[in-house]
Structure 1
Amino acid sequence: MSENYSGGDMLRDVHYAAADRNASAPLWSQVKTAVLDMIANTPLVEHARLPSEAELCAQFNVSRTVVREALNQLVFERVIYKLQGKGAFVASRREDQDFLDSNIGFSGEWRERNRPVSRRILRQELEQASDRAAHLLRLTTDRTVIGLDRVMSVDGTPRIIVYTNVVAAIAPGLERVQLENRSLYETLFRKFGLKMRRAERWLAAVNANAEQAHLLGVPENTPLIAIESIGFATHKEPVEYYRAYYRTDIGRLHFSVG
């Protein structure tokens, strides 16, 4: 984390108008907009320190209460973060994702944000589950699964590789369904009546091998998060097993604990 940046020096170089008390927007909202502009249009890199509350008060001619409300809103929106006794800092521009502690899936989360997800299908066919997949899916005699390998992109940028096994007996014919423009979870629900209820997931830090780097469009050895997941649907038996590799340079995985 950098703490060498002097916000005051930058404010002496770049002028920001005082807040307008006759404007319809509240004073805190005006300060918030100005700080967003400061972050967007000046060399404030990730983890750089913002001007102090006193400097912002003087710059915008407002009270400390107004400045704190503006900064608190930016903290809530994850644009900045605060460290006690040290000030406010520009947050990482990596986008947070919550799909790991929900049942909506990677695509479902982005759909709720009105962001387009595209899917490159690498493989979609019937196969015999590996020993690991069969064990976690509780398959004994019939180990037939649908193997579905995809690279999923957001706004045209590859974000995650997912190698999925779905129990064939529970979703017959899934290997023939066109999934380039469809969410797997939505398809399982609409076509087979399977609604994902819960999952067990494991995470590990890995470096991208040559194949993963090629598929994600990153240099080899780029840090990734490896995800292993077992998904349970309407009934109590597991229906989906997947291994995924998630880019950490443009995204963070967020969990809620309560």
Structure 2
Amino acid sequence: MEQAGEELMERRSGVALWRQVADRIRLGISNGTLGDGSKLPPEITLSQQFGVNRHTVRAAISALVQEGVLRAEQGRGTFIESRKRLSYPITTRTRFSTGLKDQTRARRVALLRHTIEPASGRVAEALRLEPGAPVLRLETVSEADGRCVSCGTSWFDATRFPAFADVFAETESVTASFARFGVDDYVRRSTLVSARHADADDLDHLKLSPGAIVLVTIAINDDLEGRPIQFSQTHFSADLVELAIET
């Protein structure tokens, strides 16, 4: 039977208790209220604090260790990995290649898969196309210094940008690919930001454990004539990246 504690978990929320505990530990690490900044409190202390048994705490810690948020040392305890988050700027000219340039040594964007498909209502509206018009769908994962920091899906007008996927596979850059089609510059029209638990694809592409949090951006880029050229949804690992929105 679970114990009573200071920060009781929601038993009927549909979210597993160990996942709720992992989220609370993440939050405590983030705001500096959990532990002394380097070492996590003992399991028994966390068990009492969260009102759960030690097995639940152990499962939460195990997931966070697998994810790289914590480090377990036998006989010494569990330590908080002191990795500073990358600050990814959201500006009128958001670019992965330059946004992390001063914070990382190496960056790359890998193409996972691509296909031509009829535009859904949402994609058609964003790109100002007729519903069902042919669009290119690109699925990518972005790495910085060997760490997977984001994965995303982008849509492009397949008529205006034929063979865009082939060019991207060569350049590994949306910006460089656009340049091949005569679009030398473009701007961010809008960005919506939200957060949620990682889904199965996030866990796979970003090497996360169940319960991890991802930051989600939904964005539209326009050419300098105001014509939409890219609609994208990108998922960032919240433990590795923070979004800096500049106005």
Q: Same-fold call, TM > 0.5?
A: yes
Name the SS of the counterpart of 2:161 in structure 1. Answer: coil
Partner of 1:125: 115
Structure-1 residue corresponding to 2:222: 232
Task: Give the 3 Å change call, closer, same or farther, for CA 255–154 of structure 1 in structure 2.
Answer: same
Separation of aligned partners in 2, 1:207 and 1:180? 33
Aligned partner of 1:207: which letter?
A: H
Question: Which of 160, 170, 186 is matched with 1:170 structurally?
Answer: 160
2:208 matches 1:215 = no
User: Is residue 69 of structure 2 the alignment partner of residue 94 of structure 1?
Assistant: no
Structure 2: distance between partners of 1:194 and 1:127: 26
The reply on whether 1:187 has 2:177 as its aligned counterpart is: yes
Q: 1:93 to 1:175 in 2, by over 3 A?
A: closer
- 1:122 is paired with a residue of what secondary structure? strand
1:110 matched to 2:127? The reply is no
The letter for the 2-side match of 1:195 is D
**Greater relative contact order, per chain length (Cα 8 Å cut-off, separation 6+):** 2
State the superposition RMSD in angstroms.
2.7
State how 1:1-258 maps to structure 2 within 5 Å. 1-2=31-32, 45=38, 93-98=84-89, 100-111=90-101, 115-140=105-130, 143-179=133-169, 181-257=171-247
Q: Secondary structure at the match of 1:235?
A: coil
The count of corresponding residues between Structure 1 and Structure 2 is 175
Conserved? CA contact 1:147–1:166, under 8 Å:
yes
Percent identity of equivalent pairs: 19
State the one-letter code of the partner of 2:200: A
Tell me which residue corresponds to 1:67.
none
Question: Which ranges of structure 2 fall in alignment gaps of 5 or more residues?
Answer: 1-30, 40-81
What's the CA shift for 1:209?
1.1
Q: State the 4+ residue runs in structure 1 displaced beyond 3 angstroms.
A: 1-5, 43-46, 111-114
**1:149 to 1:184, Cα distance in 2 relative to 1, 3 A:** same
Distance in 1, Cα, partners of 2:34 & 2:219:
42
Q: Deviations over 1:65-90 (max 9, x none)?
A: xxxxxxxxxxxxxxxxxxxxxxxxxx
Amino acid at match of 2:166: R
Give the structure with the higher percent strand: 2
Task: Measure the CA separation in 2 of the matches of 1:4 and 1:163.
Answer: 36
